[in-house]
Amino acid sequence: MSAVCELCEGAEITTRYYEDELCWIADCEICLVPMVVWRSHDARPPDSVRSLLLDALEVVANRELGEGNWSFDDHMRNIPDHYHAHARPPYFWRRSQT
């Protein structure tokens, strides 16, 4: 694993929808769906913080993907040591199989 965390770095590579002292939300550069990133380099935020992060993502995802047309995915596949969550549209994983 690299000594530099891409999520801590937070380079503005894709559309940036929101940011504050707790998190930032932008399109994931790999899958191009809204993703919330906790500003603390830690994989396990307290439940109260996780709730705030997902609430912020919900606002953006409802606006960008349509209310009720997405779900949370916080299985951190590529960067497992820094909490982040994606808003996935229905059938997201099937798109890559066609």
Helix then strand then coil, % of the chain, to nearest 5? 30, 20, 50
Q: Where are the domains of the chain?
A: 12-95
**pTM: predicted TM-score of the whole model, two decimal places:** 0.89
Q: Provide the pLDDT for residue 98.
A: 43
Of 45, 44, 39, give the one whose Cα is nearest residue 9: 39
Which CATH number is associated with domain 12-95? 3.30.428.10
- Distances from the Cα of 35 to the Cαs of 3, 26, 73, 98, in angstroms? 22, 6, 9, 24
Sequential pLDDT tens for the chain (98 residues)? 446 899 999 999 999 999 999 999 999 999 999 999 999 999 999 999 999 999 999 999 999 999 999 999 999 999 999 999 999 998 765 555 44
pLDDT at 16: 98
Enter the DSSP assignment of 76: -
Tokens of 25: 């939300």
